[in-house]
Amino acid sequence: MDDLFIAPAIPSPDTLTVSFDAWEGPLDLLLTLARSQKVDLREISILALTEQYLQFIDGARQLKLELAADYLVMAAWLAYLKSALLLPRQEQADPSPEELALRLQLRLQRLHAMRDAAARLMARDRVGRDVFVRRKPEGLRLVRKAKWQASLYDLIQSYGQIRARTQPAVHVIAVRPVMTLDEAIQRVGALVGAAIDWTRLEAFLPTGLDSAKAKSALASSFVAALELARQGRLEIQQDGIFQPIYLRAGVPDRGAKA
């Protein structure tokens, strides 16, 4: 598998001037170092790789390069792994150092495989870079043809509304059952002339009226009485509030005396 992915060059520790920004974390650095072993990653020596990494970190430290914590954590872990691998085999811890080493190797292989895949993917004939589609296609058009819907009811209702809206409005005021003031003045004036004695206002009202008209007649007759009294044609007497109102014909000289 050709290496299409260009890894950052590994500077030797004594000329190490790069920052660790060149790597995306310890695994990335480990992979770069592993690839410098120039062997298939499946054959990689984890011990040798550990050596390389620890030396590299050491070199960086001597140059007082500031290292992110995760690089140091990896260094510590690799130092532990190295000693575990070198120690005589005894009661194996779980997981065994061999398994830890294998895990690391598998992770490096996977990262390498994906890195390689990414490079091959990016190198494909990409639309807009290597192959081109039409820049201004006319486009397949979907013409939405409206199928209009309306019912006969909608139609006549609309027409009714227009007519209602635009018809000149005619306002008719209902004729209410009233006795007008003029009517009352005439009637009370005519009747009071015959009444020498005090006579109750109600006696001047026409009979046989419905209740609404009777109320109106009473009110109009009272106002008529006030008007006729003002003219001196009759006199009004009431003994107290809400007491019956009495009328009698006015006497011109008596009025003048009063």
Residues 127-156 close enough to bind other proteins by CB under 8 A:
127-152, 154-156
What residues between 4 and 33 interact with other proteins by CB under 8 A?
Answer: 24-28
Burial code of 37-67, b = ≥16 C-beta within 10 A, e = fewer?
Answer: eeeebeebebeebbebbbebbebbeeeebee
> In angstroms, rounded to a whole number, what is the distance separating the alpha carbons of residues 159 and 161?
5
What residues between 222 and 251 interact with other proteins by CB under 8 A?
Answer: none
What residues between 32 and 61 interact with other proteins by CB under 8 A?
Answer: 43-48
> In angstroms, rounded to a whole number, what is the distance separating the alpha carbons of residues 258 and 256?
5
| Distance, CA of 184 to chain centre | 69
Site string for other proteins, 62-91 (x = CB under 8 A): -----------------------x------
Residue 84 C-beta: closest distance to other proteins, Å:
11
Closer of 49 and 185 to other proteins (Cβ): 49
Closer of 43 and 253 to other proteins (Cβ): 43
Closer of 117 and 190 to other proteins (Cβ): 117
Residue 17 C-beta: closest distance to other proteins, Å:
21
Specify the length of the chain in residues. 258
> In angstroms, rounded to a whole number, what is the distance separating the alpha carbons of residues 221 and 236?
12
Q: 32: how many CB neighbours lie within 10 A of its CB?
A: 17
Cβ partners under 8 Å of residue 20, min gap 6: 29, 60, 65, 67, 68, 71
Asked if residue 254 binds other proteins (CB under 8 A), the reply is no
Closer of 138 and 239 to other proteins (Cβ): 138
Among 63, 72, 118, 190, binds other proteins (CB under 8 A): 118
Backbone φ, ψ for residue 26 (5° rounding):
-60, -35
Site string for other proteins, 160-189 (x = CB under 8 A): xxxxxxxx-x--------------------
Residue 229 C-beta: closest distance to other proteins, Å:
35
Biggest CA pair distance of the chain: 154
Residue 235 C-beta: closest distance to other proteins, Å:
38
Cβ partners under 8 Å of residue 32, min gap 6: 7, 8, 10, 23
Looking at the DSSP assignment, which residues form a beta bridge with residue 238? 245
Residue 92 C-beta: closest distance to other proteins, Å:
11
Among 122, 190, 203, 226, binds other proteins (CB under 8 A): 122
Closer of 136 and 230 to other proteins (Cβ): 136
Among 3, 93, 126, 226, binds other proteins (CB under 8 A): 126
Would you give the DSSP letter of residue 131? B
Residue 31 C-beta: closest distance to other proteins, Å:
9
Cβ partners under 8 Å of residue 44, min gap 6: 34, 37, 105, 108
